Structure 1
């Protein structure tokens, strides 16, 4: 039997997905929407054209909000630079005025996919990386999360049952045992896991929970473009006979996932009346799929973290 989401599981809940423009953020916003939530989609890339992100990409927060509505939720785009404290404070004021409180906050703010460098640069000593780029990676990947939580968590703790989700790359256990690309990248992704642990310590007193969630190998818009594929023909990237000039993906790409997969995991936690059991934990999308029984859009439960 094909798994289908409950369109009313989160009906009446207000979620904020910080960094909802593309990638995991867009997938999370849509998964919350297909569960019936009202989803505030924030980010820098807007049809207004101002405050553009570090990427030269076509996706916008307005497009994400439309996709949320298309799957059954209510999508609300609000342009925010999450490094700009006055802007984030203004977001909090607007949310307080419009809703009084929020039920779910997802910190999926990143923006350093280009700054982290190409694979050929990974593993170099940190002093061989550009220092300005490295420090900006820290700002984009850590400071944004802290600023957003500082401003929005008061809205999450006004009633019992709030959920904070920190999106990272790699679980605490995996990142403890494995060096991640560079000192700067490694520090960010390790720190975000710890943020969920420390936030969870403080939030528990208010009846709220924090959890770190990592997707697997994500078939984001940027990843699809890198391999010259679409979601409809993504297996082409694994074809050793392809002759279109694009690189062949390594075997692990067979276990890649759509951005919706991790989003469905977060929607499942949010709808779980016993969600407090996840507080301070670090889990992957496939961990959650096995716990709650949901699947990716193709009916699979891909596990990019399994040993090859």
Structure 2
């Protein structure tokens, strides 16, 4: 990526690990100043109890060519979010890209468990982490973003609108959370259009996040070993891939053509021509519909 975002300011809310980290690093590689927020720092951990920190992400942003700034924020706490946006405004007077990637629900979802058997407190907490955090962040950040035409909001979710409308996503609460975020992007697009700003919803494919690699007992260097256990993992992608999708949108002078839409990393790779770090172009959601869901043997030929 070229330095097309030099002088631009981005906020990646929920950038500690996974897609958020990949997005932050790729925005940095394009020259942006990137505020990286999350709850886990080198001093304190969230209930995830994971080792990845916002400071590490910010350092990766700077190493990639941007300027990474780590700020510990719980995005359910309004005053913390307001203070964050006030700081961005005070330090830079602008916000060009807002990525709402706050999540935190993996440990709360009870998979293949119906609503009436699911722990209700866990399910409601999942919804707050997945939806309320995005709403609170946009509430405070959008007035700074739409001060300049060309701003972009990216709502991160799991699944495209077409896929989620047609498929139950393994848990009532997870299903609701991921579909609701798609509507958040649509609604913000409607409200931002008069200001010349765009909002989209974006999903990665099967993400080789730190947690997913650990789940399969592999590393990024050995990820193909996981296909012995799960053959369809062959369609997986790195977090940098969806990061390149966000950067492509952020550097597109005609980004308003996408506003209100539900997009995927594979779809945007075909449109903009970027690749994953290995030079491939995984198209996970087309693969799921045409190969995995119909029960065909795993074969990514023609899909990456």
Same-fold call, TM cutoff 0.5: yes
In structure 2, the partner of 1:12 is: 7
Q: Secondary structure at the match of 1:301?
A: coil
Q: TM-score, normalised by structure 2?
A: 0.93
Match of 1:194 in 2: 183
Matches within 5 A, 1:158-169: 158-169=147-158
CA distance in 2, matches of 1:24, 1:186: 19
Distance in 2 (CA, whole Å) between partners of 1:304 and 1:287 is: 9
Give CA-to-partner distance per residue, 1:215-242, whole Å, 9 cap, x none. Answer: 0000000000001100001001113xxx
In the superposition, the TM-score normalised over structure 1's length comes to 0.92
User: Are 1:41 and 2:30 matched, yes or no?
Assistant: no
Which residue of the partner structure matches residue 142 of structure 2?
A: 153
In the TM superposition, residue 47 of structure 1 has moved relative to its aligned partner by: 1.6
1:219 aligns with 2:199: no
Q: 1:4-23: CA deviations, max 9, x gaps? A: x22x1211110000000000
SS of the residue corresponding to residue 128 of structure 1 reads coil
Q: 1:174 offset after TM fit, Å?
A: 0.8
Shift of 1:205: 0.7
1:198-209 → structure 2 map (5 Å cutoff): 198-209=187-198
Partner of residue 236 from structure 2, selected from 251, 256, 261: 256
Distance 2:209 2:8 in 1: 26
Query: What is the DSSP-based 3-state SS (H/G/I as helix, E as strand, rest coil) of the residue aligned with 1:126?
Result: coil
Does the residue aligned with 1:161 lie in a helix, a strand or coil? coil
Partner of 2:106: 113
Structure 2 residue 231 is the aligned partner of structure 1 residue 238: no
CA distance in 2, matches of 1:168, 1:226: 20
Q: Residues 69-108 of structure 1 correspond to what in structure 2 (within 5 A)?
A: 69-108=62-101
- Does the 8 A contact of 1:41 with 1:61 survive in 2? yes
Deviation at 1:48, TM superposition (A): 2.8
Aligned to 1:290: 270
Cα distance in 1, alignment partners of residues 282 and 183 from structure 2: 25
Q: In structure 1, how many angstroms separate the alpha carbons of the residues matched to 2:26 and 2:85?
A: 23
TM-align CA RMSD:
0.8
Runs of 4+ displaced beyond 3 Å: none
CA contact (8 A) 1:81 1:88 kept: yes
Deviations 1:23-50 (A, max 9, x none): 000000011111111110000001232x
In the alignment, which residue of structure 2 is the partner of 1:275?
Answer: 255
Question: Tell me, which stretches of 5 or more residues in structure 1 are unaligned?
Answer: 240-247
Post-superposition Cα deviations, 1:109-138, rounded to whole Å, max 9, x if no partner, equal 001111123xxx32x321111000000010
Matched pairs, number: 288
**Is residue 147 of structure 2 the alignment partner of residue 139 of structure 1?**
no
**What is the CA–CA distance in structure 1 between the aligned matches of 2:47 and 2:126, rounded to whole Å?**
11
Counterpart-to-counterpart distance in 2, 1:272 and 1:34: 16
Measured in 2, the distance between the counterparts of 1:113 and 1:162 equals 31
How far did 1:54 drift?
2.5
SS in 2 for 1:299: coil
What is the alpha-carbon distance in structure 2 between the residues aligned to residue 280 and residue 80 of structure 1? 27
CA distance in 2, matches of 1:160, 1:279: 13
